């Protein structure tokens, strides 16, 4: 039965390297059998990697239409989520437990601290762009609110918490707590120079990619 | 000598060794216009990690590099292996393939600044493969135990059962038009490629489905007590191996490349 039951990434890397070298040298398929015989725990991944190499060179891949769809989807996803994912990759250990190397270069968030977006993600298990949509906003706006809650008018915070509670089931008290963590959230995310002034609430709206209606909606909470 | 960027456009990279290169307009030009050969993904991965793993991470630069590494149009082919491997799932559902590609891209972003990401500087292809495998496991289970429920039947079929029963045999290797003697030669090559497979399940699937009177996938799934998608998944790997063997020996049996490639991609 095909399984991935081993725990030595270094050895696996060496085995894959040999398969790749044999593939480049003479399009050989027999090396994979030899290596799998010697390291049966890795067999599934070794055959999987040969398949990867073969389809990369000789596969038909996605159809023209699928390519276009994928390209559109990836572009939208990269535009909306990559900045946030990059920041997240700096502040969290990877899920295999290996530490983020950037962690020793500045203050990091206490382990019990969760940002507003983190909490939404944890509670809803939705992609960030989805929960932003449910909050009648876009991700960059939500992200700015998360990073600079002290720049956000109370009424706007109250509205976003009300929406996250009614539409996404987030606990209001917890949401209020996350939007108070201004020091940790900003320091941990490190998306800007520390000496650059934080954006105003108006700038958050202007710099977002929200629709005019959404911008108008959130502008209505600007304090006079 | 390229002029430095004006202050308001300057990309802040404090690391002294990399500043000169990365902060220059020349670097951005290269990022935008160099071919994949001139700017291999390993080099980009290294620059990306440097941009992030300094005292003050340079997110603007990292984002620019990432936009090229994960280029949605894939004009540089950095994610070709992932996309092509994921595409083998499109028989189930086209967007399942796209989901796998996006999951992998997300995993790449997550892994690059970690210790695992150092591997990307060494060999991008293998790094992306690891990320793909990790996402695959997350979706389908370590042993593929969620293969059955994770993917829905294609929209045109009312159920996966209907989808499967529409197919008699997914292989049809012996429909190739060759003289009997050449066909025997070809069978020998296939047998020599399948029999030494060191994974019991893959070998069984290969031996059952690639030779005379193959059972339907449904029948084989019932016989082996697994889901049909698991059979297809195994068959893809066996077929890749057989394809390599047949291609290498095409002078012996005379099977042409185009036919073989169609067979691989059916």
Whether B11 contacts B31, CB under 8 Å: no
Residues of A in contact with B57 (CB under 8 A): 90, 102, 105, 190
Task: Check A33 against B59: CB less than 8 A apart.
Answer: no
- Which three-class secondary structure state does DSSP give residue A100? strand
Q: Which two tokens stand for residue B18?
A: 């990399």
Per-state percent for chain A, helix, strand, coil, to nearest 5: 70, 0, 30
* Interface residue A53 vs chain B (CB under 8 A): yes
In the predicted model, residues of chain A with pLDDT beneath 50 are: 1-4, 93-113, 181-195
Per-residue pLDDT, A185: 39
Per-residue pLDDT, B125: 94
Per-residue pLDDT, B61: 87
Per-residue pLDDT, A6: 57
What ipTM was predicted for this assembly?
0.83
* Interface residue A21 vs chain B (CB under 8 A): no
Radius of gyration of chain A measured on its C-alpha atoms: 23
Alpha-carbon distance B97 to nearest alpha carbon in chain A (angstroms): 9
Residues of A in contact with B83 (CB under 8 A): 61-62, 70
* Interface residue A70 vs chain B (CB under 8 A): yes
Q: Name B16's Cβ contacts closer than 8 Å, sequence gap at least 6.
A: none
Alpha helices in chain B (DSSP H): 16-22, 25-33, 41-52, 59-69, 80-87, 94-111, 118-122, 124-140, 147-150, 160-165, 180-194, 200-209, 217-224, 228-248, 250-253, 257-264
Which residues 71-110 of A have a C-beta within 8 angstroms of B?
71-75, 77-78, 81-83, 85-90, 93-96, 98-102, 105-106
Per-residue pLDDT, B173: 67
In the predicted model, residues of chain B with pLDDT beneath 70 are: 1-24, 90-94, 145-176
Per-residue pLDDT, B90: 65
Residue in the block written with tokens 């390209």: A71
Alpha-carbon distance B89 to nearest alpha carbon in chain A (angstroms): 10
Task: Check B114 against A99: CB less than 8 A apart.
Answer: yes
Question: Whole-angstrom Cα distance, residue A18 to residue B115?
Answer: 22
Per-residue pLDDT, A7: 64
DSSP notation for A31-87: HHHHHHHH-GGGHHHHHHHHHHHHHHHH---S-HHHHHHHHHHHHHHHHHHHHHHHH
Question: Whole-angstrom Cα distance, residue A62 to residue A66?
Answer: 5
Residue in the block written with tokens 């210790």: B115
Termini Cα distance of chain A? 68
Question: Whole-angstrom Cα distance, residue B101 to residue B120?
Answer: 17
Q: Which two tokens stand for residue A57?
A: 């060179």
Instruction: Provide the whole-model pTM.
Output: 0.67
- Which three-class secondary structure state does DSSP give residue B38? coil
Question: Whole-angstrom Cα distance, residue B247 to residue B242?
Answer: 8
Question: Whole-angstrom Cα distance, residue A221 to residue A74?
Answer: 33
Per-residue pLDDT, B244: 92
Per-residue pLDDT, B147: 66
Q: Give me the total of CB pairs closer than 8 Å, taking one residue from chain A and one from chain B.
A: 217
Whether B100 contacts B90, CB under 8 Å: no
Per-residue pLDDT, A80: 86
Per-residue pLDDT, A94: 43
Alpha-carbon distance A164 to nearest alpha carbon in chain B (angstroms): 25
Question: Whole-angstrom Cα distance, residue A62 to residue A59?
Answer: 9
Question: Whole-angstrom Cα distance, residue B56 to residue A187?
Answer: 11
Whether A118 contacts A188, CB under 8 Å: no
Per-residue pLDDT, B68: 94
Chain center to CA of B151: 18
């Amino acid at each position: 039965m095909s399984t991935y039951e081993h725990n030595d990434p270094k050895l696996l890397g060496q085995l894959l390297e040999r398969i790749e070298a044999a593939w480049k040298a003479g399009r050989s398929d027999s090396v994979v059998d030899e290596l799998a015989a010697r390291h049966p725990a890795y067999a599934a991944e070794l055959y999987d990697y040969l398949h990867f190499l073969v389809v990369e060179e000789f596969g038909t891949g996605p159809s023209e239409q699928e390519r276009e769809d994928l390209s559109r989807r990836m572009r939208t996803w990269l535009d909306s989520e990559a900045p946030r994912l990059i920041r997240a990759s700096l502040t969290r250990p990877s899920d295999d437990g290996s530490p983020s190397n950037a962690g020793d270069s500045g203050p990091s968030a206490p382990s019990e601290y969760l940002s507003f977006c983190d909490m939404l993600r944890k509670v809803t298990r939705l992609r960030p762009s989805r929960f932003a949509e449910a909050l009648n906003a876009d991700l960059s706006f939500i992200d700015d609110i998360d990073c600079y809650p002290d720049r956000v008018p109370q009424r706007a915070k109250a509205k976003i918490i009300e929406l996250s509670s009614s539409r996404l089931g987030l606990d209001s008290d917890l949401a209020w707590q996350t939007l108070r963590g201004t020091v940790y959230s900003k320091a941990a995310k490190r998306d800007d120079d520390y000496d650059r002034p934080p954006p105003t609430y108006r700038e958050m709206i202007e710099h977002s990619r929200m629709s005019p209606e959404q911008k108008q909606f959130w502008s209505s909470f600007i304090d006079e | 000598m390229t002029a430095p960027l004006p202050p308001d456009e300057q990309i802040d990279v404090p690391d002294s060794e990399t500043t000169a290169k990365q902060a220059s307009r020349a670097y951005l030009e290269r990022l935008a216009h160099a071919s994949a050969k001139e700017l291999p993904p390993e080099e980009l991965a290294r620059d990306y990690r440097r941009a992030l793993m300094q005292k003050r991470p340079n997110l603007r630069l990292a984002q620019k590099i990432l936009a090229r590494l994960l280029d949605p149009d894939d004009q540089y082919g950095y994610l070709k292996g992932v996309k092509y491997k994921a595409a083998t799932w499109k028989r189930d559902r086209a967007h399942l393939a796209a989901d796998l590609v996006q999951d992998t891209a997300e995993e790449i972003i997550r892994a690059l600044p970690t210790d695992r990401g150092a591997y990307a500087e060494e060999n991008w292809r293998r790094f992306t493969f690891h990320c793909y495998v990790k996402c695959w496991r997350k979706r389908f289970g370590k042993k593929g135990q969620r293969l059955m429920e994770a993917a829905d039947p294609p929209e045109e079929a009312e159920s996966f059962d209907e989808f499967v029963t529409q197919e008699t045999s997914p292989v049809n290797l012996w429909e190739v038009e060759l003289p009997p003697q050449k066909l025997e030669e070809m069978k020998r090559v296939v047998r020599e490629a399948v029999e030494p497979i060191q994974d019991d399940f893959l070998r069984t699937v290969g031996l059952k489905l690639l030779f005379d009177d193959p059972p339907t996938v449904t029948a084989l799934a019932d016989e082996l007590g697994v889901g049909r998608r698991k059979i297809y998944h195994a068959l893809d790997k066996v077929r890749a191996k057989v394809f390599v063997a047949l291609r290498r020996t095409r002078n012996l049996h005379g099977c042409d490349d185009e036919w073989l490639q169609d067979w691989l991609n059916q």
